[in-house]
Structure 1
């Protein structure tokens, strides 16, 4: 994940200095292992840009990070448009937002998997421009119906309570950068548009879980080391609403924001999403864990917003 002086839309969308979050030390992923995995993209003329990850959680709703959509606006009551800052800091129209779902390779997108975004709901407690202060979640509704598999959310439509801890593991996936200095990739889409993304092929990585106390200690040390006390004054990691994972050899990075952190066990029922990529300081740096929003803490808000019925017991935080 990126420090504040690394732009969220570094591919083409201007210089918005936010704390944001491919997968560092990852391997090619099978999309069948990542139900509902999606690439959130912006379209400008004949150009398509991957911005963030997301996960379909029903046939019409996806979950992502709030900082990925905090400057989006709904136009004509049915289309989400991405706005970006110009040189003076004023927001200007960039282009429509779309969701590409279930792609193992963004260059090979199947029909019926690309949808316009028609509604964006940012968590009401999120503070714009400050992902590091928490509540970094948003829900987006597509214009259409996704016919494929969807993710199960811990505490809402899935549960990790039955997973055997010694054998359960955390994994993250995305189309983000494979390192802080990694260059992006370019290709031509199936429809003939120019496509830009940090990584075209979906990546995944296993992440060690970091305790909240270890996470706070590590981040506080790095904030001091990097001289970011003013930017990150009072930042803390809430064990109720956030979780930390990652080590120097594996991490999420720019372009992975909004994507899924899942837990897999030996129950044979597939993965359960426990987190959403939020923020961090650098990618894969020694002693720099990634911070993820804990989805079980927001199960009630997700259910109320989307109408998804709870089918799993509330998660124990």
Structure 2
């Protein structure tokens, strides 16, 4: 389910319609979609199976799910560091670097106590000092998500 608009490459979000329903257990659960934006300083968990940079430019694939907790950065501050950050994006990271999503993590969740607030989108390298990671905002797209889900469940 997507809106094919070749003129816009900004949005980094997709919904999948599964052939069979998921079976929820104590280990498989749904996540709430956040209805409000993440606030500056709020801590968010990012998880993924992506690569980890071990030395400048050298990456290693990881055999297990990794998780990192990162502080949300105000959009205005983020735009001072990165020029292509749109209104539907969230930035997060530590000033010291070393902690970030990486190659292969795109599409993974960013979760706070509110629920899923973001989706791993892009960054400049992995964990570079002074360079935050960029995430698609779930709250920004929540109406679009709800509309597409409703259209495909009727």
Counterpart of 2:133 in structure 1 is 290
CA pair 169-140 structure 1, distance change in 2 beyond 3 A: same
Q: Given that residues 119 and 138 in structure 2 are in contact (C-alpha distance below 8 angstroms), is that contact kept between their aligned partners in structure 1?
A: yes
Change in 2 beyond 3 A, CA 1:300/1:254: same
* Cα distance in structure 1, aligned partners of 2:4 and 2:104: 24
Local SS of the residue matching 2:11: coil
Q: 3-state SS of the aligned residue for 2:69?
A: strand
In the alignment, what sits opposite 2:65? 202
Q: Highest Rg: 1 or 2?
A: 1
TM-score, normalised via structure 1 length: 0.41
Of residues 34, 38, 53, the one that matches 1:154 is 34
Residues 87-123 of structure 1: CA deviation (Å, up to 9, x unaligned): xxxxxxxxxxxxxxxxxxxxxxxxxxxxxxxxxx234
Quote the offset at 1:136 in angstroms: 1.1
**Alpha-carbon separation, structure 2, partners of 1:174 and 1:183:** 14
- 1:48-67 to structure 2, matched below 5 A, reads none
Q: Structure 1: which 5+ runs fail to align?
A: 1-120, 185-198, 221-234, 265-270, 309-317
5+ unaligned residues in a row in structure 2: which ranges?
none
Mapping for residues 54-93 of structure 1, pairs under 5 Å: none
1:300–1:280 CA distance, 2 compared to 1 (3 A): same
Please state if 1:182 is matched with 2:59.
Answer: yes
In the comparison of the two structures, how many residue pairs are matched?
A: 142
2:6 and 2:49 mapped to 1: Cα distance? 25
TM-score, structure 2 length as denominator? 0.80
**Which residue of 1 is the match for residue 76 of structure 2?**
213
Q: CA RMSD, aligned part only?
A: 2.6
- 8 A Cα contact 2:37 2:139, kept in partner: no
